């Protein structure tokens, strides 16, 4: 009985010591193997998991927009009243779904260059309306012109172009136009080489 107990204690102590030694040896070796695998897979080199996920993300990425719709444009222009706006949204687009193109790796300076195609798909199920929803917003081209060109003579010419194009301080535009661009009638009449398309994400 006493031998069984002593033998069990000795056997337990020996096994514990052996496991402690193996643990002391295997833990650094295991950490080294894990770090080596991680370093190998996170490098942006063709064939690694990181590269594959970087070129084209495996998850859906969304961008949401809320637009401030001006409620009293006439009062603001005629009486200099305080502007009243109504927030409308969200309008949701799925973005970053296109794979990177022209991926070029430079081994000398360890850099990667690429082109990211710019694309967005409207998601009606995650939006309060459609891309055709209209908003009354500030006409950025008209508002900026008077601040950029302070000369009175130039401002007279600009005012005549604004009137000729039937533009005003506020305009009605669709969501699609506001985000992705529209041809501005006032800028189209300016006799200088200026970009005539206006949009938050144009081009």
Q: What long-range pairs does 28-33 form, CB within 8 A, spacing at least 24?
A: none
CA dist., res. 138 & res. 76, Å (int): 11
Nearest to 179 by CA among 200, 195, 151: 200
Model-level pTM? 0.64
Contacting residues for 51 by C-beta, under 8 A, at least 6 apart: 43, 44, 45
- Please report, in tens digits, the pLDDT of each residue of the chain (203 residues total): 556 666 766 777 777 777 777 666 767 766 677 777 666 666 777 777 778 877 887 778 899 999 999 999 999 989 989 999 999 999 999 987 778 888 888 888 888 888 877 778 999 999 999 999 999 999 988 888 777 777 777 778 877 888 888 888 899 999 999 999 999 898 888 877 888 898 988 87
Residue-level pLDDT at 41: 63
Residue-level pLDDT at 32: 73
Residue-level pLDDT at 182: 93
Residue-level pLDDT at 141: 85
């Amino acid at each position: 009985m006493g031998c069984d107990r002593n033998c069990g204690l000795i056997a337990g102590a020996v096994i514990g010591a052996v496991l402690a030694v193996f643990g002391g040896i295997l833990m650094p070796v295991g950490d080294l193997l894990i770090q080596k695998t991680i370093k190998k897979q996170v490098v942006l080199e063709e064939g690694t998991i990181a590269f594959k996920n970087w070129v084209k993300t495996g998850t859906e990425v969304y961008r949401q927009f809320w637009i401030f719709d001006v409620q009293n444009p006439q009062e603001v222009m005629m009486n200099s009243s305080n502007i009243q706006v109504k927030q409308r949204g969200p309008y949701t687009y799925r973005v970053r779904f296109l794979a990177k193109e022209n991926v070029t790796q430079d081994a000398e300076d360890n850099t990667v260059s690429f082109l990211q195609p710019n694309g967005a798909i409207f998601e009606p199920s995650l939006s309060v309306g459609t891309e055709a929803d209209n908003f009354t917003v500030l006409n950025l081209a008209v508002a900026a012109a008077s601040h950029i060109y302070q000369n009175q003579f130039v401002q007279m010419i600009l005012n005549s172009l604004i009137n000729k194009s039937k533009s005003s301080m506020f305009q009605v535009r669709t969501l699609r136009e506001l985000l992705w661009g529209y041809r501005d009638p006032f800028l189209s009449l300016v006799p200088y080489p200026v970009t005539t398309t206006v949009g938050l994400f144009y081009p």
